[in-house]
Amino acid sequence: MNPRLLVAALCLCLAPVMRAEDVAAPLSTPLWPEGATGALGMEDHDIPTLTFYAPAADKASGAAMVIFPGGGYGGLAKHEGEGYARWLTEQGVASFVVKYRLGSKGYRHPAMLNDAARAVRLVRANAVEWRVDPSRIGVMGSSAGGHLASTILTHFDAGDPDAADPVERLSSRPDLGVLCYAVITMGDFTHRGSRNNLLGADPAPELIEGLSNEKQVTDHTPPCFIWHTWEDNGVKMENSMLFAAALRTHHVPFELHIYEKGGHGIGLGIRDGSAPHRWAADLSAWLRERGFIGAPADK
């Protein structure tokens, strides 16, 4: 069967979680209604969620972005989650902020990757209900959230056609990625706190290799927008440069920006009513070129 027809058929079979018309105020849904795979308990931090921010109907492009906030795999930065989501919805992009499980709460890889993959699948599965195009679903992440985004960009799968859960039958491959001052490598230029929270204090060499995502790029990795700042002393800009070089080697389209000013963790860079940092305008232009911004009739 044509993959798009399969997605549409599955969407019609799924019980709706949230409806686009119901989300003028953002609403959250658990990634797994019956409990997350590998959950250590039933506290709030054990329940990964997806929060939907819908664009105005007259702006909606049909594209979607799944957002992973940063926080060193120990917390979740609101300005890199809700902040991005509200900015993207102004551009017409439906946005989904993921509350993924954290090392500070006892979780280690692959719990975070499982949450990321499930989030992409869940948006794809509910594409009809949430009025998004299942072939225009991107991922976006900052700092450690950027590492998680780069992980799903390089460790996606086609889904399990025999799964009892129809969500799990769908692909977890994003259609593009946005990496904001991202942790990429677990090697020499890694952010130690993020690595410790993700893999533990003494990870096996194969984990370091497997989660150094510059080494996991293939010809099938989706196109990416990558940015960093020269001033960033928290996560070195070499992380972004390594990932871009790997994309280049595998002939994957990308756009790379190294800005001089900004430091680490700036998000949109809005302070005291100032305009966003210029990366936002550059990203907006790139998303328009890739068909994520602009009404479907404009394409």
Range of the domain at 121: 3-298
CATH of the domain at 274: 3.40.50.1820
Judge whether 142 and 265 are in contact, CB under 8 Å. yes
In the chain, the number of structural domains is 1
CB atoms within 10 A of CB 161: 9
Cα of 289 vs its chain's centroid, Å: 19
How far apart CA 138 and CA 148 sit, in angstroms, is: 13
How far apart CA 21 and CA 292 sit, in angstroms, is: 20
Judge whether 58 and 48 are in contact, CB under 8 Å. no
pLDDT at 27: 86
How far apart CA 193 and CA 12 sit, in angstroms, is: 43
pLDDT tens per residue across all 299 residues of the chain: 444 434 434 443 343 455 555 445 688 999 999 999 999 999 999 999 999 999 999 999 999 999 999 999 999 999 999 999 999 999 999 999 999 999 999 999 999 999 999 999 999 999 999 999 999 999 999 999 999 999 999 999 999 999 999 999 999 999 999 999 999 999 999 999 999 999 999 999 999 999 999 999 999 999 999 999 999 999 999 999 999 999 999 999 999 999 999 989 999 988 766 789 999 999 999 999 999 998 654 44
pLDDT at 272: 67
The model's pTM: 0.91
Angle ∠(276,282,285) on CA atoms, nearest 5: 120
pLDDT at 192: 97
CB atoms within 10 A of CB 158: 11
Q: Is 64 left (phi over 0), alpha (psi -120 to 50) or beta?
A: beta
Judge whether 139 and 116 are in contact, CB under 8 Å. yes
- Residue located via tokens 């798009």: 4
Which residues have CB under 8 Å from 25's CB, separation 6+?
A: none
pLDDT at 11: 40
